[in-house]
Structure 1
Amino acid sequence: MTIAPLFISHGGPDVLINASPARHIWQAHAAKLPRPRGIVIMSAHYLALQPLVGSAAQWRTVHDFGGFPRELYRLSYPAHGDAALAQQVSTALTAAGIGHQQDPADGMDHGAWVPLLMMYPEADIPVVTLSTLPRQDAATHYRLGQALAALAAQDILIIGSGSITHNLYALGAPDTPPQPWAQAFADWVALRVQQGDVPALLDWQAQAPFARQNHPTDEHLLPLFFALGAADGKVGRSLHRGIEYASVTMDAWVFDGAGK
């Protein structure tokens, strides 16, 4: 059975305990899905100069953040890996002519474990990670997704985890209205995802309004293009839209071809 690829704006780790509706949206979506045989996730916090396939046998929860409530540092997500799935990912990348390496490091960052903790709290589905390449462009990440698109038809849930906007210098209080420039960027992305306008999305730096204001660096948007590539031409459908702390867009998209 095919499981549609997903993009999640994971926010800060406090999304697990604050008033954000995002975590409940992730949870509800997972509950509607057929049970995945495995999960392949690209997190904006797993960065490398080349594609790395995370092939740990057992994952260690990394609390790669500071200044948050103490209870968040007590959370863990003891998921296991899957050598066979990691090899499937590697084989697909090789077939697409994409050089890569297996990475045996066992740390899972919060961009991966925070949404997975809400979606599959039992941590009983094997997870393989794929690195984000901050020195590469949207098209490169789109090709990475394309290379793995066939896995979606093999009961594998493919997730890109990042953020539609990510300017931490512009954070506001929890009840601060959205910044107009963040809303404009999120609306631009939403329209093009719903239209399946891949060329415009891949050219986001030139075409999107306030591109650099929303993304001083690219790494949090790049997983969107990975999920888009894995969708194999299917348009995105909104699971959740909203802006928190004035500039953190928490939009989530599922690429199931169902439109709006």
Structure 2
Amino acid sequence: MKFPVFFFSHGSPMFAVEHNEWTDAWATAMAKFPVPLAILAVSAHWETAIPSLTGSAAPETIHDFYGFPPELYRLQYPAKGNPGLAADIAKTLHDTGIKAVVDEDRGIDHGAWVPLRWMYPNADIPVIELSVQPRMDGAHHIKLGRALQLLREQGVLVVGSGHMTHNLRDYMYGVEDARPAKAFRNWTRDRIMRGAVDDLAGWTKAPHAMQAHPTPDHFLPLLVAVGAAGEDYTARQLCDGYTGRVLAMDSFIFE
């Protein structure tokens, strides 16, 4: 079968231990699908100059956040890696004209393991993480996703983890006007649902794009997911809503 592609707005690291409407949606996301052979997680929290893949057989759980309760730093997501598959994916990217490398030391950051902890709490499926390239444009990330399409027919689940909107300054300081975040969210959702991939690739021209994403890192996993979904995808909203009024929590499943 051909596995779906997911995009998650992954929320706070606290979501690793909090039951809410979003974590409940993640927990039931794979209910109608078989168990994948491996997971390829594209995380906003790994930024590199060129696409990089984790190549460790036992990747560490990275706690890449500060100022949270001690319990959060004790959490582990001890999924195995798959060095052979990582090397195969790197070769696939090379064959499509995308230079890529395998990093044998890098672990799995919270952008990946927070949602996966709800989807697969036993951590019994190998996980490979793929980085994003903030210095490269939307078209690059769509192309990157396109190169991953065949993995879906090989038992690999592709997951993008970022955020529909991600202005932490507005979130932390409680900005009163949430209209810019909502306008960007609505524009993006409309383009996703009707398959306007060229518009998404040029997302920086969207209404209030720079306020919704002062840096591009959390939007780029969505573009990789859209690319991996293929040209004739069907998108379904998995969950939505906001946290802190301006962080849109939209998540999607592409089939």
The TM-score with structure 2 as length reference comes to: 0.95
Unaligned runs of 5+ in 1: none
**What corresponds to 1:37 in structure 2?**
37
- Alignment map for 1:67-146 (pairs within 5 Å): 67-146=67-146
Q: Does 1:192 align with 2:197?
A: no
Judge conservation of contact 2:54–2:107 (CA < 8 Å) in 1: no
Name the counterpart of 2:250.
251
Letter in 2 for 1:242: G
Decide whether the 8 Å contact of 2:43 with 2:161 is kept in 1. yes
Counterpart for residue 49 of structure 1 = 49
For the 8 Å contact 1:173–1:245, the answer to whether it is kept is: no
Write out the 4+ residue segments of structure 1 that deviate beyond 4 Å after TM superposition.
Answer: none
Measured against aligned partners, the alpha-carbon deviations of 1:44-68 in whole angstroms (never above 9, x if no partner) come to: 0011111111111101111110112
* Equivalent residue number for residue 203 of structure 2: 204
Sort the Cα spacing of 1:178 and 1:123 in 2 relative to 1 into closer, same or farther, 3 A. farther
Tell me the matched-pair count. Answer: 254
Whole-Å separation in 1 of the counterparts to 2:75 and 2:18 = 15
Classify 1:74/1:178 alpha carbon distance in 2 versus 1 (closer, same or farther; 3 Å). Answer: farther
Task: Name the SS of the counterpart of 2:143 in structure 1.
Answer: helix
Alignment-derived partner of residue 168 in structure 1: 168
Q: What is the Cα deviation at residue 26 of structure 1?
A: 0.7
Structure 1, residues 176-201: CA drift from partner, whole Å, max 9, x if none?
A: 99812111111111111000000111
Q: What's the offset of the Cα at 1:33? A: 2.0
CA separation of 1:178/1:113 partners in 2, compared to 1, >3 Å: closer, same or farther? Answer: farther
Give 2:181's aligned amino acid: A
Deviations 1:214-257 (A, max 9, x none): 0000010001010000001113211011111111111101111x
Work out the CA distance in 2 between the residues paired with 1:249 and 1:177: 15
Q: Cα RMSD over matched residues?
A: 1.7
Do the aligned partners of 1:54 and 1:130 also contact (CA within 8 Å) in 2? yes
**Unaligned segments of structure 2, at least 5 residues:** none
For residues 195-214 of structure 1, what are the alpha-carbon distances to aligned partners after superposition, in whole Å with 9 as ceiling and x for unaligned? Answer: 000011111111x1110000
Call closer, same or farther: CA 1:178–1:111 in 2, change over 3 Å. Answer: farther
The whole-number CA distance in structure 1 between the counterparts of 2:7 and 2:224 is 9
Bigger mean CA deviation after superposition, 176-185 or 235-244:
176-185
Q: Please give the per-residue CA displacement for 1:68-107, whole angstroms capped at 9, x wherever unaligned.
A: 2222111110111112211221121022011111110142
2:227 aligns with one of 205, 229, 245 = 229
Distance 2:6 2:198 in 1: 19
Report % sequence identity: 42
